[in-house]
Structure 1
């Protein structure tokens, strides 16, 4: 391969004897390969010291060279070691001063073009994003003007500090531990962060943190690129408030209708049933028996509707008794088996209890309709900082990527979001569906 290269290469062994002399070298020095092969390299470079090459893997130096016509030229020599079949060789890449200057000018032009392109990228990034660079310990070493503008700190106030200076206190320590664990392992982290400006105002940023790795694959600095999304987050929060308010109004209406059905129509029908029973003692008409049956069925239906709208036991006794009662009725009515385990020793906020009840109700109803299962597992376990709820239907499952037309999952997600809970749905064809809800204690 060396023979076909346009660069000048000379290969010598440990003793300084020339082993190879490529064609471009013959053009420069005027010697043919057979005239120099096996000769000492000092016939070309009188001041060449072979012993110096043993000290480093590679070296570069300037030396005088003698051409065949006895003229003397200054050469730049770059030397690299080559171990081949346990034999050490030195590969000399030789350039004349003119060639070196040409190469230098080319590199200079390429570097200038690269720097110009890099400055264009930097300008575009600074104009569109909030940029900061930190060292491996998280100490800020660079911020752009956009960072200073949104944080209301000067660059002098920020450089040398950590990002704790803009910490809003909104995110948990676990949030930042996960962030540092990710970038510390050399991976890119993406997420949304709420920060606090110098004047006490808050702002949200969509953040990407890119670790820069050294030769050992360890981060030595981090580049953080952020875009402000405060307006978007405010809109989301306002929408969430509206949804919570709507859910609250809906629950109040359900409670009102449930009581009216139970206390009004239900009581009137029950009174009518008593009257029919009295009539039957005086008369044995088949028509009266039919009326009695129909009214009994209507009473049962109204009780069922009333229960589904708003179980009074939820308000009176709390979440666990209400769900236990729902599970018993559910199993009895649909012939399913529900394994219900729980550990909860406290009453929760009314809104939280209602949302959890509705999520469980919706999940079990969906399982009955679509899972083709005979058994459901439900657990509600109290942890140190959160309540963990798991519903597993052991059914046919579904493809999470497929388009869904129903509103059941949407309803559960909105319920969870209204109480700042985390809801996750895991499903696989023929593997069943598992719904996990983590409700933080306020």
Structure 2
């Protein structure tokens, strides 16, 4: 078992405080019985959940899953009992997951947890939490189904059911992106959070199917499988990339629960979603960082082994041109040697250790100088640069030459992406703690596949490129504690690069 995952599990157990020490002591009896006597204490329930999740992550003991199911059953009873309500139970699971994510982010920042084991831990913990949540909701649905047949006998039962349904609606509205669909998969109810995330109004969504949010990312067979599971009465859980009304995309962790009539036919289903866009971005950033790290480990040795023989070859070729008449072949050899040296120089930025002296840099001045420097090339290509920079200095911490290289790479790419004339817009947005530079072109645009591969080694959309320019750019931005976001609506729609850096007040 990996030590990182074991240490993380132990730290999650520590969130349960003195309970972990008590339950780990031999002779304390059944953990299930201990829990049963504290159903009214929500803090104790959360501590117990921390303990079980931490124990499973550190030991991978299959019996812990059974303990979690027992916990879920008790939690389901609590959701309809006098001692608590469903929104409290859902909130307990949600707060527990949030606390664990916060702990894991702290571990990553302190370099105690790698991106690989962050993702592996999420893959282990999320199914367990989803199982707990599904069990609670299923238990609740069972109670409601049984209550349905008792409504004619007691008005008191009716009042209790209406109260519980109100609590359920409140919990789902506040904690989730919630929707109800009919037998034809058309929306008959969406909550405010659904509208907030999707940018559609309720009137625009009611009567429409989820196809209105289709981003085109998933193949058609993906949703066919969803529909088949629901038609068979199965609960479906997975991740979906949706497209909002304004064209932006967002990821959701989605659970869809079908409602089945006496004849076994689905007559409606509910969708419970959580916005996991930031989580997916974090995973993508960590994966790219790991790729850059791998290149860094190879760079130093690669550069040394290549440059030594290149220096010797270049020296002999230059000596040859001095003793004999220079030919097109010797000039070609020297040009190609210089090109290889340029590629090696690009690789050297990833070499470790790499010490850079950061100073206070005037971002406004850097951008103005780069725009002025590259403007002649833009005009030759019939491209007009339109800039919007503030008059006052905007100061960030960085290495001036590296920052110039970043903006020069992106502006040059933007110009080259416009084959028959167009515009490149360069603007700056200043916030109290950070500053963003947006470079937008009216060029050929990019596909979803190309967007996903940006920054990967040797990936390029240009016939003459080597795929290292943007890779170097991503590395420099990472070293400056910045971030880069790239958007394009597809081919022939242009592309927008947004670079954000921490600002010095």
The two structures have a TM-score, normalised by structure 1, of: 0.34
User: Could you say which structure has the greater relative contact order, defined with CA pairs below 8 angstroms and 6 or more residues apart?
Assistant: 2
More helix by share: 2
Which of structures 1 and 2 has the bigger CA Rg?
1
The two structures have a TM-score, normalised by structure 2, of: 0.31
More strand by share: 1
